Structures are given as C-alpha cells and as structure tokens.
Amino acid sequence: MIEELKTFITVVEHNSFTKAADIIKLSQPSVSLHIKHLEDYFGTVLIKRSIKQKKISITPTGRLLYERAKHIINILEQTREDLKEYHNVIRGTLRIGASLTIGEYFLPSFLGDMIKKYPELKLEVTIENTDTICNMVDNMELDIGLIEGMVPSGKFIHEYFYEDNMVLATPYNYYKNNKKFSIDSLQDQTWISREEGSGTKEYLNVFLTSNRISPKNIIILGSNYAVKEAVKNGLGITLISYHVVKEDIKNKQISIMPTEQKYTRHFSCIFPKGVVMSKGTEVFLDMIKNFQQ
C-alpha cells in the first residue's frame, strides 16, 4: 500500500503516468497497476484517463486521497527517522526554509552552531521570500519555515523565536538626518521597497499606511542587498532590518534616522498542521528559540 500511495502522489504531481514511471523507475503498466489497486481498495475512481487525447484528470476523490496520502507518507517517514533516533542520535534530513532577511543575516551563524552539535543531521536550506516559504511549508516541501512577515491565520502552527529591530535607513549624508524627526519629514520622499511577497515590504506598507505617509515614488527591488545599495547610492530611503545595514552603518555608508518610537517585528517558525514533528525539528526549534544573535 505504501508504494502504491507513493506512485499515486507522483502521478498526481506530474499529471502523467509516463513521467511518474520515469521518476520512480517503474514500467508504465506497473504504475497503472498501482493506481488500479488503490481504486479497487477504496472503491472509487481516482484518475480518469482519456486514451484518445492521452490525458488524465484527477477526480474529487482522487484529490482527497492525494492530500491524505501526503500526510500518511510524511508520518511514516518521520516515524522511521524517530525510530532511528531512539538512542538519542539525531540524524536524518531536516528541510528548512527561510525568508531572505533571516536566511541571509540570521541563519548562517545559527546553523554553524547546530551542525557542531548535531553532525549527523543533514540540513537542506531553501531561501526565498515569505510567501514562497509559506507555500512550500503548506505543500509539505519543507519541515519548518522561518519567516519575517505575518503568519497566515489558521494555516500553520507557529512560534516566535526572535524580535527584529527595524530602522529608517538613509544615505549617509542625507540632508534630513540632522533635523528633528517628524512624520511630516518622511512625506513626499522616494522609498526603496522589496518585492510583493516579502515580509519586509509587508512591514513597510503597514508603516507607511499607519503613519499616513504619501511617498513621492516607490522603487521596488528583489533583494535586501539591492535595497541597501540603492539607499547607499542616494536613490531613496527605506525601513529595513538593522541586521541588513549594520555593517554599512559602521562603514559610514548608511545612516539611521532617529525615530520617536521603536519599530520591531517578530521572526516566526511555522509548521504544517496535522504533521508529527520529527526529533530533528524539535531540537532545531529548541535551539533557535534560545539562540543569542
């Protein structure tokens, strides 16, 4: 049954018996037989086949089984890893996803400590923007996601693990740096922003809206590095994590405009609901919540 479910998942994800056969190294008749066994067992048609057009379509019951099958396989694989870890040796593979600020400026030093402590645990790291990481966790392509934006309500289990300081970053010799701060001084300015789906852009949007700031222009860039380089070169100002610009501040390439209040956001760990957490995920979560940056 396990192999039949794995075959079925592969057929659905690639929408093809032929592609599935190539991927799992089985003959096409064997793939068809696996699907037939499942249809006989569950008493329903899972995949409709069009012989003339050589196309397939997944039935509603097929979609339901696909979602349940992913959970079943995930639980079985995690159980296998947990049994391997029975004698307190943490091994296996942990698939980690991180949004860009976390992945570029927070995660490397943390992972260095974790590898030293758990050398037999293999880490696979994906760094993308917040929306992409959320989607990958939801599709169970990742065991854990680390994001800097708001957690979609009801979709995930989540825990905060770090409070991040956000700062108003300006070019080093920006003409308003020495003036008394006021929200009015931020009106009609060019702002540098990350792309849609970024947690940093999400926070900037909230900041501008809540303070009723009307930008003169917004320049959208696809990475933290591009944003800070734009600020350094006088293209505009931005609200960004202190981690991104702290070296540039030390090197007198970027300045921080003092504000009347402190702006912070939380970094969050997210997990898919209904999935048993592996031992590797548990030790990762415990370590990152106690990590001192």
pLDDT at residue 283 greater than cutoff 60? yes
Cα(256)–Cα(254) distance, integer angstroms:
7
What is the pLDDT confidence band of residue 177, given thresholds at 50, 70 and 90? low
Domains of the chain listed by start with CATH number? 2-83 (1.10.10.10), 92-161+266-289 (3.40.190.10), 163-265 (3.40.190.10)
pLDDT of residue 233: 93
Q: Which residue, among 65, 56, 71, 129, has the nearest Cα to 97 in the 3D structure? A: 129
Residues 24, 10 contacting (CB under 8 angstroms): yes
Q: Is 183 helix (H, G, I), strand (E, B) or coil?
A: helix
Angle ∠(126,127,130) on CA atoms, nearest 5: 115
pLDDT of residue 123: 92
Q: What's the mean pLDDT in 2-19?
A: 87
Segment 40-89, tens digit of pLDDT: 899 999 888 876 657 888 889 988 998 999 999 888 888 887 777 665 67
* 8 Cβ neighbours under 8 A, 6+ residues apart: 34, 35, 38, 46, 65, 66, 69
| Tokens coding 9 | 């998942």
| Chain center to CA of 100 | 9
What is the pLDDT confidence band of residue 21, given thresholds at 50, 70 and 90? confident
Cα(207)–Cα(185) distance, integer angstroms:
14
Q: Which residue, among 194, 172, 203, 179, has the nearest Cα to 259 in the 3D structure? A: 179
Cα(229)–Cα(64) distance, integer angstroms:
48
Rg over CA atoms, the chain: 24
Give the rounded percent of residues in the chain with a pLDDT score beyond 70. Answer: 94
Sign of CA dihedral 86, 89, 94, 98: positive
Residues 147, 99 contacting (CB under 8 angstroms): yes
pLDDT at residue 2 greater than cutoff 80? yes
| Tokens coding 187 | 């009106």
- Letter string b/e over residues 135-173, b meaning 16 or more CB atoms within 10 A of that residue's CB: bbbbebebbbbbbbbebeeeebebeebbebebbbbbbee
Q: Is 220 helix (H, G, I), strand (E, B) or coil?
A: strand
Task: Write down the mean pLDDT value for the chain.
Answer: 88
Give the rounded percent of residues in the chain with a pLDDT score beyond 90. Answer: 43
What is the pLDDT confidence band of residue 178, given thresholds at 50, 70 and 90? low
pLDDT of residue 225: 93
Q: What's the mean pLDDT in 4-16?
A: 88
Residues 210, 233 contacting (CB under 8 angstroms): no
Which segment of 50-54, 198-202, 211-215 scores lowest on mean pLDDT? 50-54
Q: What's the mean pLDDT in 268-280?
A: 86
Q: What's the mean pLDDT in 170-188?
A: 80
pLDDT at residue 124 greater than cutoff 90? yes
pLDDT of residue 173: 83
- What are the CA-CA distances from residue 35 to residues 38, 67, 220 (Å)? 5, 16, 47
Segment 214-229, tens digit of pLDDT: 999 999 998 999 999 9
Q: What's the mean pLDDT in 171-176?
A: 79
* 176 Cβ neighbours under 8 A, 6+ residues apart: 170, 185, 257
What is the pLDDT confidence band of residue 204, given thresholds at 50, 70 and 90? very high
pLDDT of residue 188: 92
Cα(162)–Cα(174) distance, integer angstroms:
31
Cα(204)–Cα(142) distance, integer angstroms:
27
Residues 118, 90 contacting (CB under 8 angstroms): yes
